[in-house]
Amino acid sequence: QSALTQPPSASGSPGQSVTISCTGTSSDVGGYNSVSWYQQHPGKAPKLMIYEVTKRPSGVPDRFSGSKSGNTASLTVSGLQAEDEADYYCSSYAGSNNLVFGGGTKLTVL
Amino acid sequence: QVQLQESGPGLVKPSETLSLTCAVSGYSISSGYYWGWIRQPPGKGLEWIGNIYHSGNTFYNPSLKSRVTISVDTSKTQFSLRLTPVTAADTAVYYCARYSNTWRADYWGQGTLVTVSS
C-alpha cells in the first residue's frame, strides 16, 4: 500500500480559505467513506478534525469542512486563523483491514 | 474523559525488541472500539502500525506485519506493542490511539520517542 498524496505545503492569509487535497486510488479514498483528517501542532499529538469524509467531531469549529470527489478527498479551512497553522494529515481505510496516511501538509498562515 | 498514556524504554539497541504499553483510562477496552499504534519518525509523517479489537483480533500494516505484535492485557486496561527486530529506521515517536469501526482515531496518547541506537 502506498501513502496518500498530499501537497507538502499550503498557505493563506488570515480570513481567507485554503483547501488541502489528499489523492489516493479506487482502493482507498475512492472506494470507502472512511477518510479522516488530523491537525498536528509541533510537539503535540494529532487531533481528529474530520471523519467519514465530511463529519466534524464535537468541538471542532465549523470553519473546517471535508469533501470527496472520486479518488481525491479535500479539507477546507475557511476564515483562516493564526492557530490553524499546523501540519494536516489525511487517512483512509484501504480495504483488507488496512489503513493508510497521507504524507502531510504544512499549513502556513501568512 | 478517555485518556491514553504510552510508556516504555526510550532507547533500544539495534536487532533487539521494542516494547511499549498504552494505559487506557476513562473507558473500558472491553466495551468496544479498536485500539491501535501509529508512529512518526522525526520530521516525517504518520504511519499506521496496527490495531487490536478487545476480543483480540489484530490487524497490521502489511509492511510491518512480520515484525509486529499487538496484544491486550487480561485486565483490559492496557494494550501493548512489540516490534522486533528493530533498526535505526524504527526510531520514531510512537502514539497509541482509540479507533472507531470507521477507522477514525478519536483519542490519542501524547506519544513517546523511541530511539534505536547502540
- Cβ-nearest to B62 among A1, A3, A51: A1
- Cβ-nearest to B103 among A45, A93, A103: A93
User: Do the chains contact at A38 and B46, CB–CB below 8 Å?
Assistant: yes
Q: Does B3 touch chain A (CB under 8 A)?
A: no
* pLDDT, position B66: 96
Phi (first) and psi of residue B18, to 5 degrees: -90, 125
Compare B56 and A68 and report the one with higher pLDDT.
A68
Residue-wise pLDDT for B61-102, tens only, equals: 999 999 999 999 867 789 999 999 999 999 999 999 999 989
Phi-psi category of A106—alpha, beta or left, where left has phi over 0 and alpha has psi -120 to 50? beta
Q: What is the mean pLDDT of residues A88-94?
A: 97
Q: What is the mean pLDDT of residues A83-101?
A: 96
Percent residues over pLDDT 90 in chain A: 97
User: Do the chains contact at B106 and A57, CB–CB below 8 Å?
Assistant: yes
* pLDDT, position A1: 66
Does A9 have pLDDT greater than 80? yes
- Cβ-nearest to B95 among A45, A57, A93: A45
Q: Does A102 touch chain B (CB under 8 A)?
A: yes
Q: Where are the beta strands (DSSP E) in A1-104?
A: 9-12, 18-23, 35-40, 47-50, 64-69, 72-77, 86-93, 99-101
Q: What is the mean pLDDT of residues A67-94?
A: 97
The residue of chain A nearest to residue B45, with distances taken between CA atoms, is A103
Nearest-CA neighbor of B51 among B41, B61, B63? B61
Percent residues over pLDDT 70 in chain A: 99
Does A47 have pLDDT greater than 80? yes
The alpha carbon of residue B59 is apart from the nearest alpha carbon of chain A, in Å, by: 6
In contact, B47 and B94? CB cutoff 8 Å: no
